[in-house]
Amino acid sequence: MSVMDDPAAPAHGLSARQMALYRFRRNPLAVIGALIVISVILAAIFAPWIAPSPESAGSFVDFRNRHSPPNWQNLMGTDNVGRDVFSRVIFGYRVSLGLVVWVLGVAVPFGIVLGLCAGYFGGWTETIIMRFTDIMLALPPLAMALAITAVLSPNLINAMIAITLLWWTWHTRLIYRIVKGQMNEDYVEAARVAGASHMHILFRELLPNCFSAVAVKISLDAGFVILFGASLSFLGLGVQPPTPDLGTMVATGSEYLPEMWWQAVMPGLAILYAILGFNLLGDGLRDMLDVEL
Amino acid sequence: MFTYLFKRAFTLLFVLLGLAVLIFVIARIVPGDPARIALGPLATAEQVTKLQNEMGLNDPYPVQLWTYLSGLVQGDLGKSLLTSRPVMDDIMGALPATFELVLFTVVLQILISIPLGVIAAIYRNTWIDSVLRVISLLGVVTPGFVLAIILQLIAAHYLGFFPVTGRIDPGIGFSAEITGLLTIDGLIAGRFDVVIDALRHLFLPAIALAAAGIGQVMRITRTAMIEVSSRDFVEASRAYGIPERVVTFRYMLRVASVAPLTILGLEFASLIGNAFIVEFVFSWPGIASYGVRTILQKDLNAVIGVVLVSGVFFVVANLAIDLLLGILDPRHRIRAGRGS
Amino acid sequence: MSRLLDIRDLCIGFDAYGQHRRVLHNVDLHVNEGERVSLIGQSGSGKTVTMRTIIGTLPMPPGKVEQGSIHYNGQSLLDLNKQDRNRLKGTGISIVLQDPMLSFNPVLTIGRQMDDVIRYGDMRLGISRARTERRAHMIETLKKVQLTDGNRVLDSYPMMLSGGMRQRVLIGMALLNKPRLLIADEPGTALDVTTQDEILALLNRLVAEEGLSLLLITHNLGVVREMADRVYVMERGHIVETGTRDEIFDAPKHAYTRQLMAAVPPLYGAGVKTTRHEGTHPIINVNAVTKTFETRSGWLNRVTGNFRAVSNVSLTVQQGDIFGIAGESGSGKTTLAKIIMGLTKPSLGAVQIDGRLLDGFAGTQDFRKLIQIVYQNPGSSLNPRRTVGDQLAVPLKFTGFDKTATKRRISELLDLVELPQNYAAMYPHELSGGQKQRVAIARALSVNPKILVLDEPTSALDVLVQSTVIDLLHDLRREFDLTYVFISHDLSLMRNFCNRVAVMLRGEVVETGPVAEIFDTPQHPYTRALLSAIPVISPEEDARKPKVSKEERAAVLATSTELEDT
């Protein structure tokens, strides 16, 4: 029951869009999240122009300047061969975001289509897709990604493939649940009575009702894909040196703990910063669009 | 209730079978010859053929699948190339360590996240809620390996009370032989020094492993409590004069705990996955570190074994949660008993 | 007479979305000792806010009492400290909430919930009773609400009881701690009319026997007439009129009250409008149709039983008819509608539309151009994420309209249902309930069908809006020579809208005929019971309702006091 008898939007003289925007703006954390995400994306796109020392992204070596703690020249210090950690972090975002775009770009549409079909057609389609999803969900994702990458030989492309193979399941489950709920609504039957084709119902009627949930999920997912990729490379099974990758940097840097802490902690914080941004944004969207995942 | 139990167990058995077949298929689909991968690029063709024959890789797939499945039923997972011992023995040796860690982690998650989630819901939109929200957020967004390293750093170098590697101080001289769990066996044997030492060792890895789940479950508990608080029966209970404390804990929490528990079950696979990182960092002698080592060595039999056991873990954990939900919520029981 | 509850000059506001909005304006309302008072208003009028403020469950903030006072038994409720305020809950003032399903905690047994109410009530009063004593008290209270099998009820979970039983238990729950004032929010509204009738009778008896005062909150004028000594009429947060029941019903003064009265379709008397139509050309032929659903249970989901939703039904609808199918929930009327629409296949029997058998015909373009449906709840039948224009275009797109023709037709359709052209770009949530239903009607009409199946098209709407939609349907029928199949549980509305009716009970048609015949001389005991249970708004209607004895009623209807064996 709502607070008022009739919580209808017109009573406030505000449209639903205005109310959603109001909720977003009143949520400072969401705005911070959006700003963080924008900064990470800009850093990734303009890395060669922003990074103070673009040559640090490769196998550049400067032994005179190795292990130097954070200072004005090297905001996050330098690593074991004298490369600027800050520059490597910025280039690291490139790799991370590339991973996000690839993984979500492939896994999300795939997951959505399967979820739509399972929820809409029911019967055997539903049983096969959902049982398969259930089984996939029982596998520990990180372990599976590790195993697949290890066997395929560890590099960025294979890490992408491994993560993509696992990632669609969550979207299938989410979409399936939403569609199952929507199937109780009369508009699906109304469309059928109006003569609409299956394609029309799936993609024009049902899909728009999944958008908010997918938007929130993608935003939260982006952070977790970054985390996932970094975890893989932390264990030596993702991006290979000298490509700058945040997980690899933490792993290498952790050998110099605790004295030269910045080499592990700075990239670690950089990962945290990006994930935090996507999470805050996702949470903000969730409140704004009023969806439950 | 019995119908319900049977049904659940039946479904889970099915999931397990599917899991086994799926892992087999993945292992065979993945390009590359397992024997060649195992022996490395320097091996001769004869060596590879010999190993292929030993591993049964030249049999037709259905035969291979049958050999593999019937081996599974008898608890035979083949031999590990890394340790040259049966994979089953390796896993059984490492399982208690992981089980203890995971159990401790889940208990920690439930004990911390649900009460904090309830508090956040009660004091929603106040500073208490904001503080808890930041805590839950930090838990969710801090990568497991970063947290593990930070914890190691702080604990080892500044506090010193919590050991940063292993399960128990090797000088203590105790072997857990009943359940394999040091804390439980220590209690049974009356060796409190063992229990305390084991708990000290458990603490940091468990925190590192629990953080993500704590953040998430806290958030979901909060949302569920707020959602339940707007239901009619809560208003009715208040209007009948039932004290707020009772309304919150008996009436609301019981209904609201379904969502966080379900999530806990679903996220169990991720938890096991993260254990790979945490065990690796803390040199925890469990199946996950065994898994990482065998994965790095491309020891296929062992990898299959580890993944399969992780799947069993997931399935059993979800069965346990289902039973718990059945106790908490009669609708769950009745609905599941009736079928879809 | 002393005032038990006395509300003076109450103003309440809400802060939402950075704006402040006042929802109650200078409300004056009182309930005397032993009096039955009704607060009547449509949704959004502020009646629920009033109730919540009285019982102290209005969330503040965002709610805020801006001025005014509430006195209960001489104590100022708004000034009491929390402890004293809580002491009154359940023991001084108690409530019966609207929805008997949602008002129980689904995971606790009835007994557990009732026990808590007694225990904490006792605690505040400083009494302590043993568990067995409390149980005895519960069983005794359940007897008061005519539930004799107390032990079984107490051990049940809410979901195991029927709606009527839950409503009874809910009333019992409110009475456990012997309150002096009972506030009932739309009692029985969520139930079938025959069950509602029982519940209202029960409430009336309890008020008399227990010496209670009653504040009844409702939107239904008929209920008010049966339940109130005095009436307040609320419109948009204002009390617009007050008086004794007879004053209000015989001579309503305020325009809004008069409007409300006029919008209630009369069951009998001079105000009744009879739709006359004698069709000669049958357009729908339902021939001995039966629909059986399998019930499954146990492990492996075996079929364990059959449930007949529709049982051997034969009907003929003439071209131009407004054919009513009346029945309560579970009577099979919606299943029958779906069979006619070709959405559900009958297990036995056949349906012919315009002379053609449904097999192979249903779902074709010709079929869609012949028959369309309007659903009960436009909130559900319109896709919330598509604009009005997009939704109107769907049937057109699949019957071969091109882009320009579609556009032109959409604009015609909006005109037909009297909506402004710019609504095509709006989303459903920007529209009111009545406007949404107009869109749904426009969509059904888009490909010029000859028949519309109307599945309770007005039951989700307020009574004032209902009458405008009904007028629209009349106009459209005249203009396009339409045939309607009108499915409803609202017999008063059917009396004024349909020309023929069929009454359904548990899947069977028990009576069918011209509307005047069925209502004036109902033959089947169920039809008689149904008609007699309708709360009406004038003594004349009351007098002309069929009189049904208890025995006659019991022969066709189970009372809501029996536990189902499931």
More confidently predicted of C296 and B148: B148
- Residues A234, B311: C-beta atoms closer than 8 Å: no
CB contact, 8 Å: A8 with chain C? yes
Residue of B141, B142, B266, B312 for testing the chain A interface, max A β-carbons within 10 Å: B141
* pLDDT given for residue B241 in this prediction: 82
- Residues B3, C298: C-beta atoms closer than 8 Å: yes
CA of A205 to nearest chain B CA: how many angstroms apart?
A: 25
Instruction: Please state, in angstroms and rounded to a whole number, the distance separating the CA atoms of residues C100 and B228.
Output: 17
Residues 6+ apart with CB under 8 A from A84: A51, A52, A53, A56, A74, A76, A78
- Residues B32, A152: C-beta atoms closer than 8 Å: yes
Vertex B237, ends C102 and C195: CA angle to 5°?
40
With helix as H, strand as E and coil as C, how does C75-117 read?
EECCCCCHHHHHHHECCCEEEECCCCCCCCCCCCCHHHHHHHH
Residue entry with tokens 């091109």 = C402
Contact by Cβ (8 Å): C398, C479: no
Q: Which of B238, B241, B246 sits opposite C91 (nearest CB)?
A: B241
Closest-CA residue of chain B to C116: B242
Bridge partners for C21 per DSSP:
C14
- Residues C297, B242: C-beta atoms closer than 8 Å: no
- Residues A11, C44: C-beta atoms closer than 8 Å: yes
- Residues C177, B240: C-beta atoms closer than 8 Å: yes
Q: Which of C88, C99, C108 sits opposite B232 (nearest CB)?
A: C99
pLDDT digits (tens, 9 = 90+) for B83-105: 778 888 888 888 888 888 999 99
Q: Which of B143, B271, B291 sits opposite A230 (nearest CB)?
A: B143
CB contact, 8 Å: C72 with chain B? no
pLDDT digits (tens, 9 = 90+) for B202-224: 888 999 999 888 988 998 999 89
Name chain B contacts of A131, Cβ cutoff 8 Å. 14-15, 18
CB contact, 8 Å: C95 with chain B? yes
* pLDDT given for residue A7 in this prediction: 35
CB contact, 8 Å: A272 with chain B? yes
Residue of A234, A250, A269, A273 for testing the chain B interface, max B β-carbons within 10 Å: A234
CA of C320 to nearest chain A CA: how many angstroms apart?
A: 22
Q: C282-521: CATH homologous superfamily?
A: P-loop containing nucleotide triphosphate hydrolases (3.40.50.300)
- Residues A146, B292: C-beta atoms closer than 8 Å: yes
Name chain C contacts of A211, Cβ cutoff 8 Å. 385
Residues 6+ apart with CB under 8 A from A1: B230, B232, B235, C48
Residue of C14, C338, C380, C447 for testing the chain A interface, max A β-carbons within 10 Å: C380
Instruction: Please state, in angstroms and rounded to a whole number, the distance separating the CA atoms of residues C305 and C507.
Output: 16
Contact by Cβ (8 Å): C224, C241: no
pLDDT digits (tens, 9 = 90+) for B26-79: 777 766 666 766 666 677 778 778 877 777 777 777 888 888 888 888 878 777
Q: Which of B237, B240, B254 sits opposite C107 (nearest CB)?
A: B254
Closest-CA residue of chain C to B258: C107
Structure tokens at B152: 């190691």
DSSP C161: S
Name chain C contacts of B334, Cβ cutoff 8 Å. 159
Count of A-B CB contacts under 8 Å: 135
Name chain C contacts of A1, Cβ cutoff 8 Å. 48
Instruction: Please state, in angstroms and rounded to a whole number, the distance separating the CA atoms of residues B303 and B31.
Output: 16
Residue of A135, A255, A280, A287 for testing the chain B interface, max B β-carbons within 10 Å: A135
- Residues B236, C55: C-beta atoms closer than 8 Å: no
Closest-CA residue of chain A to B235: A1
* pLDDT given for residue A97 in this prediction: 92
Name chain A contacts of C399, Cβ cutoff 8 Å. 195
* Burial of B95 per CB tally in 10 Å (0-12, 13-18, 19+): middle
- Residues C99, B6: C-beta atoms closer than 8 Å: no
CA of A106 to nearest chain C CA: how many angstroms apart?
A: 25
Contact by Cβ (8 Å): A182, C360: no
Is the per-residue pLDDT at B24 higher than 90? no
pLDDT digits (tens, 9 = 90+) for C488-507: 988 999 999 999 999 999 88
Helix or strand holding residue A37 (H, E) = helix A28-45
Residue of C14, C218, C385, C390 for testing the chain A interface, max A β-carbons within 10 Å: C385
Structure tokens at C381: 């039948």
Contact by Cβ (8 Å): C352, C284: yes
Count of B-C CB contacts under 8 Å: 97
CB contact, 8 Å: A258 with chain C? no
Bridge partners for C315 per DSSP:
C286
Query: What are the structural domains of chain B?
Result: 2-73 (no CATH), 93-296 (1.10.3720.10)
Domain spans of chain C?
A: 282-521
CA of C376 to nearest chain A CA: how many angstroms apart?
A: 9
Residues 6+ apart with CB under 8 A from A94: A44, A47
Contact by Cβ (8 Å): B235, C97: yes
Nearest alpha-carbon partner for B178 in B188, B191, B192: B188
- Residues A190, C443: C-beta atoms closer than 8 Å: yes
User: Which chains would you list as touching B if contact means 3+ CB atom pairs under 8 Å?
Assistant: A, C
CB contact, 8 Å: A1 with chain C? yes
Name chain C contacts of A214, Cβ cutoff 8 Å. none
- Residues C105, B334: C-beta atoms closer than 8 Å: no
Contact by Cβ (8 Å): A228, A144: no
Bridge partners for C15 per DSSP:
C20
* pLDDT given for residue A4 in this prediction: 33
Residues B165-188, mean pLDDT to the nearest whole number: 74
Closest-CA residue of chain A to C400: A195
Main-chain phi, psi angles of C264, to 5 degrees: -80, 120
Name chain B contacts of A266, Cβ cutoff 8 Å. none
**B205 cis-preceded (ω within 30 degrees of 0):** no
Is the per-residue pLDDT at B19 higher than 50? yes
Count of A-C CB contacts under 8 Å: 103
Nearest alpha-carbon partner for A263 in A282, A244, A280: A244
Q: Which of A29, A136, A151 sits opposite B30 (nearest CB)?
A: A151
Nearest alpha-carbon partner for B260 in B157, B136, B131: B136
Give the strand pairing for C3-16 and C93-96: unpaired
- Residues B255, C301: C-beta atoms closer than 8 Å: no
Closest-CA residue of chain A to C342: A193
Give how far Cα C172 sits from Cα of C123, C262, C560, Å. 19, 36, 14
Structure tokens at B335: 């609905």
CB contact, 8 Å: B5 with chain C? no
Quote the distance between the C-alpha of residue A67 and its chain's center.
Answer: 32
* pLDDT given for residue C242 in this prediction: 93
Q: Which of B32, B153, B311 sits opposite A258 (nearest CB)?
A: B153
Closest-CA residue of chain A to C61: A3
Please list the rounded mean pLDDT of every run of 10 residues in chain A (293 residues): 34 63 77 92 89 75 75 77 84 90 94 95 90 86 82 81 89 92 91 91 93 89 89 82 83 80 86 91 83 69
Give the strand pairing for C63-72 and C36-40: unpaired
Closest-CA residue of chain A to C375: A186
Q: What is the rounded average pLDDT for all residues in chain B? A: 82
CA of B52 to nearest chain C CA: how many angstroms apart?
A: 42
Ranges of residues in chain C whose predicted pLDDT is under 70? 1, 296-304, 559-566
